[in-house]
Structure 1
């Protein structure tokens, strides 16, 4: 067997070199990731080292080594330790190749960077953003010719993420506008969220509040809102039609803020979106928020946001943050749709489990470290 060692930046490049020399019949005997040696080795990319082999009949004849057929015959007449050893090596190589496919795509960065990059990947932050963060850290490390602690790496990533969020609105309701309209699919906790925001407005900001519900599909939803409203000693109006909605506005004319609770429906169906347009007057002095559950798959959150795209949504509200380990999709939604966050909720208690969103507390959740905005 003719053997040759190859070193390349990636396994794909190494395999291309192997195929060029030996063709598709080549056998990979070993595959390892190697770190360049020397004082500055940690600042150089890790490389892939592959040992490949190929049985060439002409070479075997010239060398006097036994042919493949002779090896098989020898194996049938009795165990050949060298052949068994080769089979074991091949099994190990297959395992190595499988492991290589599953290995991190950040192997070219120093080991000191791996824990934080793994953290961001596990958080489901966009891969291209993780790569940008990794490149920025690595570039700074090379410039300063030193390794960085994890805290220093976090600070660099924090600076990058804050740059992306710099122009987006964060924070709660604008008390200068009278109507607060909350949209979202079923099951995300819109009614409870409205009650939390209303309670804060009443208790902390001394505003007179009222409620309108257009969720006439579920009796339980109306009763839930009535329960919260009774605790706050605030009136509730139910709007079945556009005329009902206009009358409700008139009845609540003396209130400082009116919270509008919309029906939780499957908004993949355009009919429900059209019904909402006909029912609510979006030309009012109104703030509109889209409520999404942090436990929802990112692809589904995107579909919901796109369906609501024709409404004047100013900010997101994210609920159920206490029920997920992945904050990355929340960050991805904010940057991709260029909408900030008004509130984040992490429980059912009214009004306690409601946090006015800031860039700082979002990044704290994402990076799991105490940091001020």
Structure 2
């Protein structure tokens, strides 16, 4: 048997070379992507290795002659069926194992392999945290520049430190305001299950207890009796006035009633905001009232769903993100992706149900810490 190993820059080129050298009857035994060349582990080129073979003395099958069917002993039939069943079971078991392994192994972008190993380790950490591939590659290029400029061989801890500083710098241009720095009227919007009402109570408690502001509450969430009762309980505990607005007229009257207050916080319904009509309803309710809108997003939700919600709320529009349920996940890359992709800042990050304790002010340093948090850092 004639066996050849072919290396070419593309798979198409490799297959063409196999055909030229071995002919149309060649059989591909194995193929894989390889990297070779480069200098000091850098600038390696991607190539394809193909192992092909051609049997120079093929066994030509004899023409079949129709004979009388021989009677095979029953025991032999049983043994053949058992052997076939055993092979099939083994194949199915191996396929099931392979599928299970593929589900647990996260895809590694090819570009990560082009970087020195300490940088690769950092970029893989970002991937594990669900930072988008585009951002990982951009951060990787900046890390490589620092690597080249380093007077001494950098260690992994150095690379992670550089990465944190790069992330802080990229997050820096956006605003990170706390409650005492915002406008008088603030409304909290977001999808069902984002924890808006509890978060609104936390904002009210911070404003009252830490900044000594006169705070009033308005709710336009008239779809859920439980939400109104929950907000009433918080209002009683903090001794704050609360108005319920069923329509735009009620909302306008509540705004007039609280004209002398320092801060008015507005709770909204947890509806399916993948439907644009609900966003338009809110916009109509608020009218011309000058306010700041905080979009509450649970970080435990799938990022694709978060992106749909963000795109729909561009119609309102919203001013800041308010990330909730950070205690319910270990993947914080979505925070970084959403901030950079939408060029919006953040107010707070909530970490539990306790009012007002489980809420921290957001900052570029805080976001970077969440994404890069690791025992090896």
Q: TM-score range by the shorter chain?
A: 0.7 to 0.9
Q: Is the 8 A contact 1:291 1:316 kept in 2?
A: yes
Match of 1:228 in 2: 234
Match of 2:325 in 1: 320
Q: How many Å separate the matches in 2 of 1:310 and 1:34?
A: 47
Residues 332-367 of structure 1: CA deviation (Å, up to 9, x unaligned):
111111111111101000000111100000000011
1:20 Cα deviation from its structure 2 partner: 2.0
Match of 1:243 in 2: 249
Q: Is the 8 A contact 2:184 2:291 kept in 1?
A: yes
1:6 Cα deviation from its structure 2 partner: 4.4
Tell me, what secondary structure is at the counterpart of 1:288?
A: strand
Q: How many Å separate the matches in 2 of 1:273 and 1:344?
A: 23
1:203 Cα deviation from its structure 2 partner: 0.4
Task: Specify whether residues 216 and 103 from structure 1 end up closer, same or farther in structure 2 by C-alpha distance, changes over 3 A only.
Answer: closer
Task: Specify whether residues 201 and 190 from structure 1 end up closer, same or farther in structure 2 by C-alpha distance, changes over 3 A only.
Answer: same
Residues 216-244 of structure 1: CA deviation (Å, up to 9, x unaligned):
11110000001111110111110111111
1:34 Cα deviation from its structure 2 partner: 6.0
Task: Give 4+ residue runs of structure 1 displaced > 6 Å after superposition.
Answer: 98-101
Tell me, what secondary structure is at the counterpart of 1:69?
A: coil
Match of 1:42 in 2: 41
Task: Specify whether residues 149 and 221 from structure 1 end up closer, same or farther in structure 2 by C-alpha distance, changes over 3 A only.
Answer: same
Q: How many Å separate the matches in 2 of 1:298 and 1:16?
A: 36
Task: Specify whether residues 117 and 101 from structure 1 end up closer, same or farther in structure 2 by C-alpha distance, changes over 3 A only.
Answer: closer
Match of 1:63 in 2: none
Q: How many Å separate the matches in 2 of 1:257 and 1:33?
A: 62
Task: Specify whether residues 292 and 265 from structure 1 end up closer, same or farther in structure 2 by C-alpha distance, changes over 3 A only.
Answer: same
Match of 2:89 in 1: none
1:115 matched to 2:121? The reply is yes
Tell me, what secondary structure is at the counterpart of 1:268?
A: coil
Residues 104-145 of structure 1: CA deviation (Å, up to 9, x unaligned):
522232333332221111111111211122233234334447
Q: How many Å separate the matches in 1 of 2:127 and 2:198?
A: 32
Q: How many Å separate the matches in 2 of 1:101 and 1:236?
A: 49
Q: Is the 8 A contact 2:14 2:48 kept in 1?
A: no
TM-score (norm 2): 0.79
Q: Is the 8 A contact 1:6 1:17 kept in 2?
A: no
Which one of the candidate residues 192, 213, 219 is aligned to 2:225? 219
Q: How many Å separate the matches in 2 of 1:144 and 1:279?
A: 57
Please list every run of 5 or more consecutive structure 2 residues that lacks an aligned counterpart in the other structure.
Answer: 63-93
Q: How many Å separate the matches in 1 of 2:107 and 2:358?
A: 39
Q: Is the 8 A contact 1:213 1:222 kept in 2?
A: yes
Q: How many Å separate the matches in 2 of 1:310 and 1:185?
A: 15
Q: How many Å separate the matches in 1 of 2:339 and 2:114?
A: 30
Tell me, what secondary structure is at the counterpart of 2:41?
A: helix
1:298 Cα deviation from its structure 2 partner: 1.3
Q: How many Å separate the matches in 2 of 1:103 and 1:338?
A: 27
Residues 266-309 of structure 1: CA deviation (Å, up to 9, x unaligned):
1223332232122223x334221111111111111111111111
Match of 1:287 in 2: 292
Tell me, what secondary structure is at the counterpart of 1:347?
A: coil
Match of 2:13 in 1: 17
Which one of the candidate residues 253, 266, 275 is aligned to 1:260? 266
CA RMSD after TM alignment: 3.0
Q: Is the 8 A contact 1:171 1:341 kept in 2?
A: yes
Match of 1:277 in 2: 283
TM-score (norm 1): 0.79
Task: Specify whether residues 31 and 311 from structure 1 end up closer, same or farther in structure 2 by C-alpha distance, changes over 3 A only.
Answer: closer
